[in-house]
Every structure is written in structure tokens, then in C-alpha cells.
Amino acid sequence: MSKNSECDGLAKNGLTAAKTNLELAASILEETAICFDSAGNRKKAGQYLTLAGDFHMDLNDLEKAASCYGKAILRYLMIEDFDTAQILLKKGQEYGFTTSFHQFSIAHDAIERKFSTKQDEEMNDIEEKEVQEEIFEIDIVPIESEQAIFPIRYDEFHENDEIIQDSKDYVIPQLNESKTKLDTFDVMTAVSKATRQKKKSNLQANAAFKDKKGETHLIEPIKTLNRIKKGIKESETSDLIKEDRIEPEKVNEHFLIDISEPDTLDLNYTARTEFINEYEEELVDIELVDTIPFQWQVIDVKSDFDLETKKPTQTGMVFTWKTGKIDPGSKLAVEYILRKRVERSIVLRRQNQVSVVTTYHSIKQDLQANLEFVNTSGNVYNEILIEDVIPPELIVSDSKSSQSLKPYTIPTHDSTLYRWTFNTFNPGDNFCIFYQFREKPITRHYIEEIVTNTGLIKIEKISQPLHDSFSYDYIWYYSIENSSENKINLSDRIPSDFDIELVDPIHLKPTLKKDKNQIILEWNFLDKKEHKSFIVLRIRGSESFTPIGPIIIIPGKDDLFLLERNSFSEKKLIDIRKLKNIEEKK
Amino acid sequence: MPFINISFAEAKNSLEDSTIIFELLKSKKINPKEGDLLEKLGEYSRNKSEEILNDIKEMCYLYFGEDGKDAFEKLSRFIESENKRVSWVIFSRHYQSIKYDYSDPLANYTPRITEVLTIKSKYRLIE
């Protein structure tokens, strides 16, 4: 008979005995634990010791119970199950076990030692992070172009529209004083940021024309830049919101989430330049000059003018348009379809000089980018910093470097910066980074109000995608305010391949019901006890979907009249942490 | 906090009255996964269907891994047998807790300026 079968036999005897004789059971269960100990199964030994301890408690034998609990705690510590060890310690203290019980006292001290070590480690991590995020103030002294330390070979980079590049060189006095690598990289980071901030990403437009006297006039035409909003069409929103009130028992049949269409931001923008003849006479020889900074890739152009020239300059791609005449009151326009590029800053250091090379990379239709950088200078660089600004419409779902380096990601106000650092870059060396992107889901904010005779019911839902996650993670935030006398039920939907990862507060977890290709979330207890509350959910899945608004059900009352509905879209910052803090203080 | 923190009376009464589970969650005596399992047990005690029993079995395999079969047998004794007290003690000391991630859903959350679609609806309740 194997050791484990012997233990299992004892366990069976112990559990049978428990039904009739607690004392006998406790003693056999302790024997079972010893048996599992000798078989090396500490977890099972801990379980049976706990059980024996509880039966000793039932027999009012505090000393034996405390001894069993103490031994059980030590076994959980051995297998590093600290949560269970702590739970048993707390339970033992509730039972009245004190440190005067030898085994329990040993277990108590062991847990304290373990947790003080863990806390020290966590504190060290925090301190390290603070050092990394310290901000440097630096002096940057530009070097004249003839002294450039990283000569650009334009022939290599201007072959096509995929990569545009420029370079600036600086002297950084602080680099002479830097003693550690951390210092120099921090200075290089600050240089990269300062250089990026100086670059303009705004579109510029100028126009010239002649009046009937032949005099030339200069004006600034009207410029507009809009996102093409494929994810937020009015028709789509009205389909998903209830048109009429549905009977409570039919709610589940009626509300289905849309998993066929991705609910993401469009990658493309439209930029439009308009020339309007506001004179009461015909204008002639009209010339329009648009400068599109390199942060933008031009996908397509539609124009009422004839293209004269298109050429790259230091500030961007310059389009010159011409037309012979324009009638009074008429309007001529140029419309560009644009897409953001990945803006890359490469900072190379040689002693107290740095070269900042900026490149702009177009994103292919398959949402991939292979960003390559070759040392064509003939010099060896000892420290290299590369920062890639990922456009705000995209999330990185995978990134790999040729040297198997790990990036450091930094959230910015509307996008993410991927930072790569490495040492020694020899002439001819190639540094390649592959990015796989995915489109970013939009943030939706639903506000639902129901006016009743006894007060207002107001439920808001914010669905916000998490930017720093490789999968599709969303934060769903609900705020519930029920000033009426009615009890309300709340319902929502997630696709069946989504999971609810976390809930706050945990007692407001929804009950879940599977229904075809979706999971129905229900909260059935939002009565007066929950007059004002909030719920935060973190959900995760592999594809984006279109979240619907919260479904409010008032049991026994199914007749609601729609008073008004409107929707609008704007760029703004929603900080769910702040909203939650406000609700908590209420 | 885990099953070990639920007294026999609380466990037995939760089979009849699910508001006890809500209160246990609110006082943080149990976590949502433990709450789900208790809710399912209550559902079964009110409506003894094979389907619900299967759900309980699935949950045991999901939450207790290789010990799922044993956990299900111990739980079955609790919901089926007359001697509920001893059955509960045996189950709750063997399967003291279900692992649950207590992390804040907003941990590592960085708010960003982004496109926000706001949809506002107002209704009147006909009373």
C-alpha cells in the first residue's frame, strides 16, 4: 500500500468517526496530518490539522485546538500560502488563542517575521520607482550643423514616404558632471522630451491672390481638422438605446450587445483648407500653400485646385495649389485624409554631446510597424535612448526588439511612450523594433434619468478602455442615485468570452447569467439601502465590442415615456478615480 | 475572507435567504467567488435540479482544481445530508477559501484625454 493510500484510508476513518465521536475524530485527523507530513504533502497536513483543531474547539480543549492551529499555520507558511496562514491566525485569535499557547505563539512569530520582510521589499520597490521618475532640468546648447556628430545620409531615408528623418545636435554641460548611467539616461530622456516639444504638429495654410486691379493680397484660409468618426455614428447609438420601454420579463430578449462591429476610433482624420471669395469681384492667380507636419501621413487628397508642387521641407510636407480664378461668393477647398505616424526620437551620446535624430514612421494597413535604425555614422556610441510616441488612436498589442530588450512604457496625456535604452552601438549596427498595434476602443458615457412622482433616478455608466493592456480591458464605472421611493434593478451585458476580473465594492458584484453569445449582469438589490452608490468593474476579453447603456428596471412598473435623448462627442479627460472618490465621500 | 469565517448558522440560513450572502459580502467575511458558490447552493436547495447541481460541480472544479471532485462531494453532503453541522465544518476546514484577487480595479489605471461619446436619455415614469 502506498503512503498516500494509507493517508487517504486514515482520512476516511477520521471523517466517518467525526459523525459519531468528535474526540476520536480529532485524534485520527491529527494522525492523518502526521501521515500527510511524512508523505511531504504540507497542504493536506494543514487542512487536517485545522479540522482537528475545530473538533478540539467543540470539545472545549483550547490548548489542543491552539496547538493544531499553530501547526497548521506553519505548514501553510512552508508552502508559501500566506493568505491562508493569515486567515487561520486571525481565526485562532477570534477563538481566544493567545501567545501563551506554545505552538500558536511560534506560528504567530513566524507570520510576523514573514510579513515584515515582505513589507521591506515593497518599500524598496517604491523607492526605486521614485528615483526613476525624478525630473531633470537641463541646459541644451545647439551645435552648428557643420559640427554635427551624427551626419544624416538623406539618400537612405528619403527614398519613399514611409520614413522621414531629421537630426539636431547639442552640447549638454550636465553630462560632464554625471557619474552614473542612471544620471546620463535621465539627461538624455529630458533632451528627447525637450526636442519633441519644440516640434510643431499643427497644420499651416497660407493663400495669395490678385484682385481686379492686379494687387496681390495674402490671407490665412480657414483650416479644420476632424477625426472620421466611424465608431460614433448617430444611427448606431439610437439602435442600441431603448426606443420604448420594454416589459421587465422581455428585457433579456430585447437588449443584445453588438459584437459584429468594433467600437473603435478611426485612424483617419480629415483636414480641410477652404478659400472663400468674400469680395464682390472675381479674384485671379490664387495660390494656396498647405504645410502638413511629418507627424501626419497623407493618405489621400481631394482638391478644387491644381497641384503645382509637393515637396518635403524642414517643417513638413508642403503642398502648393493653384487655380486661375474664383467667382465672388464662391468657395474652393482642399481636403486631406491624414493618419498619425509613430514619432521616434533617437538620442545618441558621445561625451557631453548628444545627437537627437527624429524619424516619422507610417503605419501600414495591417497595423504593424517594423522600425529600424542603422548606425551609418562610422562612430561608436556608448549610450542610446530610443523613444517612440504611439499615436493616441492605437494601442500596442505586441512589441519585440532585435536585441530582446524590454521597453519601459510611460503614459502620456493622451497616448503612450515606448522607451528603449541600450549600450554600445557600433558602426553598421542595426536596432529593429517590431510593433503590432490594435485600434483603441472609444470611451462611452451613458446618462440615464427617470423622473418619478417621488424623486429622480439617475444612473450613469462610463465604459473606458484601458490603454496599457495587451488585451481588451475596460473599466466600467456606474454611479447610482435613487432619490425616489422605488426599488430599482440594474442590468447590463458583456460578450460571452469576456470575464469580470475585479469588482469594487465587492458586495456589489453582479449576478451572472449566460444568454446565447452574451452574459447578463444583474444587480437586484438597489433599494433605498443603496440610495447613492458606485460600482467599478474591470472586464477583459480578446476583441472590442460596443457596450450598451445601463438597463434600469423598476419592478412592477413598466411604463416609461421618453422625454428627450441626445448624444455628442468631444475630446476630454475622465478620471474614474476622482469620480469614485467623490462618490465615496458622499 | 473565506468559508472558515462563516458560522454553521450563517451557512445553513444562507441556503434559504440570499440576503445573508449579500451581508457577508458587505462585511467582507467572504469574497465574490465564495458568494457565487453559496448563491448556487441556495439555488439548489430551493430548486433541486440536475442542472444547478452540475453548475455547482463545475464551480468546484474551477475553484478547487484537482481537489474539485472531493470538494463537490463534501459540499453535496452539506446540502443533502441531515447532519449539516458536521458536514459544513468538514467542508469549510478543508476548503477554507477560494483564491480571489482583491486588487483595486483601478490599480495601474492612467486617465488620458480621449474621444468621449456621451449619450443622455431622460424618461418619465407613468405611475
Is residue A93 within 8 Å of residue A125, measured between CB atoms?
Answer: no
The stretch A39-54 carries a mean pLDDT of: 89
Structure confidence by residue, pLDDT tens digits, B35-78: 889 989 998 988 888 999 999 999 999 998 888 898 899 888 88
SS3 A6: helix
Domains A204-242+260-340 and A444-585 share a fold: yes
Best CA proximity match to A545, nearest among A439, A460, A391: A439
What is the rounded distance in angstroms from the CA atom of residue A86 to the CA atom of residue A92?
A: 10
Distance of CA A455 to CAs A244, A449, A556, B124, Å?
Answer: 21, 11, 17, 11
Whether residue A527 has pLDDT greater than 50:
yes
What is the rounded distance in angstroms from the CA atom of residue A542 to the CA atom of residue A447?
A: 27
pLDDT of residue A478: 95
pLDDT of residue A335: 93
Instruction: Report yes or no: B97 at the A interface, CB cutoff 8 Å.
Output: yes
| ipTM score | 0.77
Residue A243 — very low, low, confident or very high, per pLDDT cuts 50/70/90? very low
Helix (H) or strand (E) holding A88: helix A82-95
Q: Which residues of B are less than 8 Å from A466 in CB distance?
A: 109
CB nearest to B106's CB, from A87, A453, A577:
A577
pLDDT of residue A560: 77
Is A132 exposed, middle or buried (CB count within 10 Å of its CB: 0-12, 13-18, 19+)? exposed
Inspect the interface and report whether the beta carbons of A415 and B112 lie closer than 8 Å.
yes
Q: Domain locations in chain A?
A: 3-129, 141-199+341-439, 204-242+260-340, 444-585
CATH of domain A204-242+260-340: 2.60.40
Best CA proximity match to A351, nearest among A184, A468, A465, A471: A184
- A255 vs A524, residue with greater confidence: A524
Beta strands across the sheet bearing A353-361: A141-142, A163-171, A353-361, A342-350, A381-390, A416-425, A408-411
Q: Chain A to chain B, count of Cβ pairs less than 8 Å apart?
A: 206
What is the distance in angstroms between the Cα of B58 and the nearest Cα belonging to chain A?
Answer: 14
pLDDT of residue A557: 74
Inspect the interface and report whether the beta carbons of B86 and A237 lie closer than 8 Å.
no
Inspect the interface and report whether the beta carbons of B101 and A573 lie closer than 8 Å.
no
Q: How much of chain A, in percent, has pLDDT values that exceed 70?
A: 81
Q: Share the mean pLDDT of chain B.
A: 86
Whether residue A445 has pLDDT greater than 90:
yes
Structure confidence by residue, pLDDT tens digits, A143-192: 554 444 454 444 443 434 455 667 777 777 777 665 565 577 888 888 88
Q: Which residues of A are less than 8 Å from B110 in CB distance?
A: 411, 467-468
Report residue A259 as a C-alpha cell: 459584437
Structure confidence by residue, pLDDT tens digits, A384-422: 899 999 888 888 888 888 878 888 888 777 678 899 988
User: B53 lies in a domain?
Assistant: yes
- A378 vs B31, residue with greater confidence: B31
Greatest alpha-carbon pair distance for chain B in Å reads 60
What is the rounded distance in angstroms from the CA atom of residue A521 to the CA atom of residue A528?
A: 20
Give the strand pairing for A518-526 and A532-541. Answer: unpaired
- B84 vs A31, residue with greater confidence: A31
What is the rounded distance in angstroms from the CA atom of residue A93 to the CA atom of residue A103?
A: 13
CB nearest to A507's CB, from B2, B25, B119:
B25
Best CA proximity match to A275, nearest among A373, A375, A206: A206
The stretch A71-85 carries a mean pLDDT of: 86
Whether residue B1 has pLDDT greater than 50:
no
Whether residue A1 has pLDDT greater than 60:
no
Helix ranges (H only) for A178-312 are 181-198, 234-240, 251-254
CB nearest to A448's CB, from B32, B35, B121:
B121
**Which amino acid makes up residue A521?**
L
Report residue A583 as a C-alpha cell: 462618490
Instruction: Report yes or no: A486 at the B interface, CB cutoff 8 Å.
Output: yes
Q: Which residue has the cell 439602435?
A: A239
Is A278 exposed, middle or buried (CB count within 10 Å of its CB: 0-12, 13-18, 19+)? exposed
Whether residue A119 has pLDDT greater than 70:
no
SS3 B38: helix
- A572 vs A335, residue with greater confidence: A335
CATH of domain A3-129: 1.25.40.10
What is the rounded distance in angstroms from the CA atom of residue A231 to the CA atom of residue A243?
A: 20
pLDDT of residue A109: 85
pTM confidence score: 0.65
Give the strand pairing for A216-219 and A283-292. Answer: unpaired
Phi, psi for A319 (deg, rounded to 5): -105, 125
Residues contacting residue A430 through CB under 8 Å, at least 6 positions apart: A372, A373, A374, A375, A402
pLDDT of residue A14: 78
Residue A141 — very low, low, confident or very high, per pLDDT cuts 50/70/90? low
pLDDT of residue A158: 40
Instruction: Report yes or no: A440 at the B interface, CB cutoff 8 Å.
Output: yes
Domain total of chain B? 1
Distance of CA A240 to CAs A256, A512, B119, Å?
Answer: 8, 21, 11
For A300-337, letters b (16+ CB in 10 Å) and e give: ebebbbeeeeeeeeeebbebebebeebeeeeebbbebe
The stretch A208-221 carries a mean pLDDT of: 86
User: B109 lies in a domain?
Assistant: no
User: B117 lies in a domain?
Assistant: no
Is B95 exposed, middle or buried (CB count within 10 Å of its CB: 0-12, 13-18, 19+)? buried
Phi, psi for A186 (deg, rounded to 5): -65, -40
What is the distance in angstroms between the Cα of A214 and the nearest Cα belonging to chain B?
Answer: 47
Q: How much of chain A, in percent, has pLDDT values that exceed 90?
A: 18
Whether residue A55 has pLDDT greater than 50:
yes
What is the rounded distance in angstroms from the CA atom of residue A261 to the CA atom of residue A544?
A: 8
Is residue B125 within 8 Å of residue A559, measured between CB atoms?
Answer: yes
Distance of CA A222 to CAs A302, A303, A333, A334, A340, Å?
Answer: 16, 15, 9, 11, 21
CB nearest to B103's CB, from A51, A451, A502:
A502
Report residue A145 as a C-alpha cell: 550643423
Residue A136 — very low, low, confident or very high, per pLDDT cuts 50/70/90? very low
Whether residue A237 has pLDDT greater than 60:
no
Counting Cα atoms < 13 Å in the Cβ hemisphere of A557 gives 17
**CA R_g for chain A:** 34
Structure confidence by residue, pLDDT tens digits, A258-307: 656 667 777 888 889 999 888 888 899 999 999 998 889 899 999 999 99
Torsion region of A60: left, alpha or beta (phi above 0 gives left; psi -120 to 50 gives alpha): left
Whether residue A313 has pLDDT greater than 50:
yes
The stretch A4-28 carries a mean pLDDT of: 81
- Structural domain that includes position B13: 3-94
Is A391 exposed, middle or buried (CB count within 10 Å of its CB: 0-12, 13-18, 19+)? buried
pLDDT of residue A378: 78
Counting Cα atoms < 13 Å in the Cβ hemisphere of B7 gives 7
Residues contacting residue A573 through CB under 8 Å, at least 6 positions apart: A413, B111, B112, B113, B114
| Domain A444-585: CATH architecture, name and number where available | Sandwich (2.60)
What is the distance in angstroms between the Cα of B24 and the nearest Cα belonging to chain A?
Answer: 8
Q: Share the mean pLDDT of chain A.
A: 80
Q: Nearest chain A Cα to B94, which residue? A: A47
> Which B residues in the span 44-63 are in contact with A, Cβ-Cβ below 8 Å?
none
